[in-house]
Structure formats: C-alpha cells, structure tokens
Structure 1
Amino acid sequence: MNRTDRLYALVEELRAVAPRPRSARWLAGRFEVSVRTVERDISALQQSGTPIYAEAGRTGGYCLDKARTLPPVNLTPGEAVAMALALRQLEGTPFRATAHTALRKLVAAMQQDDAAAARDLAARVHLFGEDAPPSMPRELADALVARRVLRIGYGDREGAVTQREIEPLGYVGKPEHWYLVAWCRLREEIRVFRTDRITSVSVTAEVPPPRSLRREDLDIPYGVVEQLSLTG
C-alpha cells in the first residue's frame, strides 16, 4: 500500500470506530508499518486539517471527530476538476488558502478510483494567467471524460475548413480562448485546436488508445503554462 492510499485508509479506519480511539500500535499492525510511520502519517493528516486528536491513557489512542469530516462522496472526476477551475477565481483574495484546503478535503473524501481519475484529468488541463477562459461547447468540454474519438470540422486562419478525426488528450486555457490538445489522425501527430475554430463536432462510439501528454507536446512558444492542481 502506498502512502496516499494508507493516509486515506487511516482516516476511514478512524471514522469507522469513531468516537472510540485506535492506538498507534494497533494501527501499525493493521497497516503493516512501524509505529513511527503511523505517528508521521497522523501528524501529516492533522496538518492538512483532518480533525484527529489523541486521547491519553492506557486505553487511549487516536480519535477522529466524525462530525467534522465527510465520508466518501460521489463527486465525479469531472466535477472535482470543475471545482478546481472555479476556485482559481479566488486567486488574490483573502480566501485563496481556505478554498484550496476545502478542495483538498473534498478530493480526500472521494472514492479512491474517482480521486485518482480526477488527478489524472487535472494533469491534462494547462492554463495561462489568472483569468478564466470563455466557455466551450459541451461535446468538447466532456471530451476527456467521455474518452471517445471526435469528428470535427476545423477552420484555419483563412477560414478553410477541414474534416478531422481526433483523439482528445488535454486542454490549454488562455484568457481569450480554450484549446483542445488531441492526436490528429489527418496529420498523424499531436495538434492544438482552438475551440472557437471548431465548426462542428460529433462524438463517435470509438474509444481511442491511451496516449500520454507531455508538456513539450503542447507546442506553445511563449508564456508560462501552469498545470491545474487539485492540491493548491
């Protein structure tokens, strides 16, 4: 079990028995780690805002304040990423830090598979600047979550339209435009499509093969690109 999974499991173990305590020794045996590792993990959870406290005495141990935590919630990966994007509007306000703390708590309360999928989806969203880009058509906004090949019409700077089949890989957002990063079957390489130049879009039933997206694949010659984060 890796550390991220163990931290999640520690919280759920303490939630299951709350308000009764679990000793560090019991937890160490349960997760097959040392007592020192459990103590470090509990300290990390406490520093992140998880309401865990220690009860002294022979029958004491660590307790979770169940009233102040969330059980696993049914946020979808797309919803979690949407919240991360929305919270960027709080940059520069007094609530920036608390907003990111709230997001971390929600992600920690998600089902493990959904949280992992949300982190993967967020890693495919890259942004310029602080301002939110404009909206985009629903079929494009759902492209990464749906994981389907798209057929699009795409206009170049002169207005000439070509028909393409593309495999969506990620997004780049600028204050003026959204860009869809995709494998273009016409050009047989990764291309960046400005979404306001996409004249038509249809979703096929075909699931594309898995492809990685590296920062150098974004083909952006200037500016600082920031990857969206679910941890602040």
Structure 2
Amino acid sequence: MQYTGVLKKMNTEITDKVQYYLDMKTDFININQLLNKEIELRFVTYECLNCHLEKEIYRQGFCKSCFFDIPTAGDWIMHPELSKAHLDIEDRDLEYEKKVQLQPHVVYLANSSDVKVGVTRKSQIPTRWIDQGAHEAIEIVEVPNRYLAGITEVALKDHVSDKTNWRTMLKNDIKDENLVEWREKLHEFIPAEAEEYYIANNSETNINFPVFQYPKKPKSLNLVKEEMYKGKLVGIKGQYLIFEDDTVFNIRSNEGLVIELITQ
C-alpha cells in the first residue's frame, strides 16, 4: 500500500494502549496496525499547513511568512504567560485569541523523562500528555484563562523542570514518581491569583504506549536530508515512530512535509 499526504501530528485515542492515527488526506491510517511491519518513508516536498503553498517549512508546520503573521503561531502559544486576551488586548487576531485563551486551562505535572510542569487547554487532556510521551500525569490547577495558567507554570518551573528529555523518554529510562506528593510539595509556590483553583483531591492518570522494543541509542531521522528511509516499525511513543535499528522519527517536528508512506 502507498499513501501520500502532508504530515500533521498524529491523532490519538487513549485505550489500554494508545491508538495512533495519521491523516494522509485521502486515507486515515491506524499506525498501530503497522507495528512489526516494514515501512518506507519518502520525502516529496513541503506544504505549509496554513497557506498550503509549496514553501519550505520554518516552524510548527508553517512557512516563514505565515509563522510571523498568523494568530495560531503567536508568542503566547509557547509562552502562555504572554496571553493578553483577558485584558482585551490584541496580539495578532483578538477574536481568535479570545476563543483560545479565554477557556479553561490546566497546569499539570507529567512524567516522561522526569517530572515536568506544563500547560494545556482542558480540552487537550489527555492528548497533550500522550504527545509528550508521559506514562503518568496529574492536574495541579484548572484556571479560566491561559494567562493564569502561564504565570502558574512560570512560578512552578523554578522548582521543577518544564522540559522533556526526548532521548530518555524514548529509551524508557524512567522511574515512576508519586505525582500526588509532587503536587502537594509544589502547592505553596502557586501564585496568589491562581491559588483558589488548586486541585487537592485527584489521582494520577497512567498511559501505556504501543512499544515492542525501545531504542538503546535513539537516532533522529532527518527525512529531508536522507530523502528515503526504510525500516521495521517496533513502537510509537509521544509523537515518535520507533524503528528496529534505533532510528526514531518525530511526526510533530516534521509537520508540513509531504511524504509517501509505503507498506508491504
């Protein structure tokens, strides 16, 4: 079978083991069904996820002109503390920013390579945790807008990491942590503006990924440079495809690439 389409992050469904789906325009592929099979990836060209023109991807699946213009790539996306829609102040498109920023957001702890703090819209749980390859996670606060979540994350990352070590996550070189204890330990550092939104009585969410073999020394595939890769798919974790020879391919960081995916 041969599929052609522009890469976007895989859709996920949390079941006993996470189910992964890749939207290839004319086909919707359950990637789990390709596990333990040989697959071939070929780079074809680029397609910006916004303007859909054949332009080199700059960041987040967008060409350079779109990245610096569209509201979906504003600085507040990566830095929630910069959100200003609650003040009725526009960054690039106030209507869009109000729609996204003025909705419930969650500050959480996730354990993927080590315990880290993060922010996401409530509607993106547990998707966000799955995308980060977290095998366990817990909510700390649920606030009514992105700004409050952002300043809470900034305060907490003085006491816990806000980064994921992708190599450690993929090697599964991790340990279980008591996230309830972590949440309680970090409670005192929550800013006064968000204190009333602290969640005191919840439990961890556990996530199982479909991986038959973890890589010992993960090697990241640069499909644009290599143009073609073929290997046996042995696992999926986070947004990574894991192959038998320790090659890993991050779907999320390659959004906007038009590829051919060939299976036997």
TM-score normalised over the length of structure 1: 0.27
Q: Which has the larger radius of gyration?
A: 1
- More helix per residue: 1 or 2? 1
Between the two structures, name the one with larger relative contact order (CA 8 Å, sep ≥ 6): 2
